[in-house]
Amino acid sequence: MMRQYELVDRVRKYNPNANEDLLNRAYVYAMRAHGAQTRASGDPYFTHPLEVAAILTEMKLDDATIVAAVLHDTIEDTAATRAEIDEIFGPEIGALVDGLTKLKRLDLVSKKAEQAENFRKLLLAIAEDVRVLLVKLADRLHNMRTLHFVNPDKRARIAQETLDIYAPLAGRMGMQLMRDELENLAFKNLNPEAFALVSTRLADLRNDNSELIGAIEAELAEELRKRGINAEVRGRQKQPYSVWAKMERKSVAFEQLSDIFGFRVVVDRVEDCYAVIGIVHTKWPSVPGRFKDYISTPKQNDYRSIHTTVVGPGRQRVELQVRTHDMHDIARNGIAAHALYKDGVAPALSQESSAYQWLKRTIDMLADGDSPEEFLEHTRLELFHDQVFCFTPKGRLIALPRGATPIDFAYAVHTSVGNSAVGVKINGRLAPLLAPLANGDEVEIIRAETQTPPAAWESIAVTGKARAAIRRASREAVRAQYAGLGRQIVLRAFERAGKPFGDDKLKLALPRLARSNIEDVLAAVGRGEMFSGDVVKAVHPDFKEERKTAAGRRPDPGWFKMQKAAGMQFKAPGSTGHALPIRGLRGDLPVSFAPDGGAVPGDRIVGILTPGEGVTIYPIQASALEGFDDQPERWLDVRWDMEGAPELFPAKVVVAGINEPGSLGAIASLIGETGANIDDVQFNKISPDFREMIFELQVFDLKHLTDILSRLRALPMVHRVERVIG
């Protein structure tokens, strides 16, 4: 276990002005707080926070972060309190420890919905101070280093979570050293046989090629020295997990990989980077399409280097990365490198780095109302994808995941640009909105302000931001349609009641309707979640519907309720069963269902009045209702009243399937097993191999019908199943 003086010495090596008293107090406080607690390995628990602090000293982080690492488990696992931490160590450290305590309580090793919600909380917690993330990643790294002491089931879950969330998150923060070790430790625990095999092959390859690697390093270093460039040339080898992932992704054998070895050239100045490229490309032929300049266009995680591949000594393909020492620090430690002590002075941890900006943009998505599962899906997409870099016509750089389309580009520029996109020009030429973008493309989005994004775009978009915005726009469009229908229903209700209506009056009644705005009220009425009569009463509390039914009297119909199927009569809410007359008619009003498809309980329904004939009931989505749009006086608000014995209701279903013996019998048997009746069946021959069957059924309700459709779709001979609504 690391001693007290060793912790102080570690910090003072890079920060001679370290607060030794603060570090000593944290060491003693945490040691006493954890007392006799032990870990799964049997070691004293206090060794864990000390090792986390040691990992952070390797990143040369500030005193507050080191102290927070030492204390990070005290509030959660001991009798220590936030108030006590604030009093002894100050509010800055108290806030860091409190943020880490909240993360400690998250159980990301859980089923998907819980994991997704907890991931949202994780990002929200680290948004206030990114140092919380650095301590959390160091905490996860030490836990992974000691994972072999945990039972196998829990070990696999933790390793998978590390591979899914923590390693990619470290990569997005530019912390490549951290990411590599987390990935390899997770790989070792999830697939020990594959890890051992790849590691052995890599070790054998390194031994077999050690002389060649040394020769290339020496020749390249000498060539640069002769040109007056001070450079460090180092050979490097891919990590086991990265090799395995590429083998899996490209379905290739180990022997087919040509980029296991590469070389890194580290120089003093940015101009030296380009000079090295000039020298290398002059001496050895370059491989076309293998040059990438991440210095002029850095990655979103702040990574900067120039990549190239040449046919070098011995006709070997040689991959080169060229960067400065500062770029090398950022490539290894990412966002933590912004807090590196240089000459005993620590700059402020940059809140404006590209990596941190990505984190803030990701957190901004939380406010858009997506479900936790959607958020986790979108964030994983952005964590894992490589990038392409495109430009707006004004030269703004837009970084996108590989495979992104102009749709993703439009939403990356601004949500309003994506929502109004109707076309695109790529490099000055008209192109499809579905065309994949390539590095260096100039993209000009063609817009139309009246455009609404098609819902199908969601399955095409690659970025989480685009998918979330498309889904949100689709929801808003549907809500606007329901609000329009609701307004018509409410207007007719006020007309029947003989009461004035206005948005200003409805706004005053919002508290009584438990809605925050007028659109919510109208949409609720349109969806059938709120009764239009309740809106009238909320606006005019003194209004009372008359329910007189004596002969010759004509009551307001209001909101009718349906009770029976064939030949049923409307009933007033709370009535005793007698028929309710309709304004302008005498006696009971006959009711029938729409001739093509009917309606079942669970459908949102409306009634169409035909004088002298009665009322026909339609599902709200029936296309036949369009024929009555210009006759609002014939529309009646109705709803189901299913009290009493269950009844069967008409529904029509079309089934397209393979034309083979026994198919009709299998379909009919399945329908019979569900408890539904078949009134009629018609056949349409689509082709010699396929036929279409139209079933007229009797079902109990929408749930019953949905179950039948679902079970029919599962039959092997069935190609398509749809409900018919006239």
132, 26, 29, 150: which is closest to 78 by C-alpha? 29
Within 8 A by CB and 6+ apart from 714, the residues are none
Return the number of other C-beta atoms located less than 10 Å from residue 154's C-beta: 12
Give 164's DSSP letter.
I
Residue tagged active-site, from 9, 43, 76, 86:
76
Answer for the pair 363, 133: CB distance below 8 angstroms, yes or no. no
Give 147's DSSP letter.
G
**Distance (Å, rounded) from C-alpha 164 to C-alpha 9?**
36
Answer for the pair 308, 280: CB distance below 8 angstroms, yes or no. yes
Within 8 A by CB and 6+ apart from 191, the residues are 244
**Distance (Å, rounded) from C-alpha 452 to C-alpha 450?**
7
Q: Is 529 a catalytic residue?
A: no
Answer for the pair 70, 25: CB distance below 8 angstroms, yes or no. no
**Distance (Å, rounded) from C-alpha 257 to C-alpha 261?**
10
Q: Which two tokens stand for residue 187?
A: 């790989």
Distances (CA, A) of 552 to 132, 332, 446, 654: 78, 89, 64, 46
Query: Taking the mean position of all CA atoms in its chain, how far away is CA 113?
Result: 12
Residue tagged active-site, from 9, 43, 77, 588:
77
Q: Label residue 255 left, alpha or beta by phi (over 0 means left) and psi (-120 to 50 means alpha).
A: alpha
**Distance (Å, rounded) from C-alpha 32 to C-alpha 26?**
10
Q: Is 76 a catalytic residue?
A: yes
**Distance (Å, rounded) from C-alpha 392 to C-alpha 88?**
53
Give 565's DSSP letter.
S
Query: Taking the mean position of all CA atoms in its chain, how far away is CA 583?
Result: 53
Tokens 């390793």 sit on residue: 159
**Distance (Å, rounded) from C-alpha 488 to C-alpha 466?**
33
DSSP 431-464: E-TTPPP-TT-BEEEEE-TT----TTHHHH--SH
**Distance (Å, rounded) from C-alpha 116 to C-alpha 164?**
12
Buried b (16+ CB within 10 A) or exposed e, 103-120: beebebbeeeeebbbbbb
Answer for the pair 308, 286: CB distance below 8 angstroms, yes or no. yes
Q: Enumerate the active-site residues.
A: 76-77
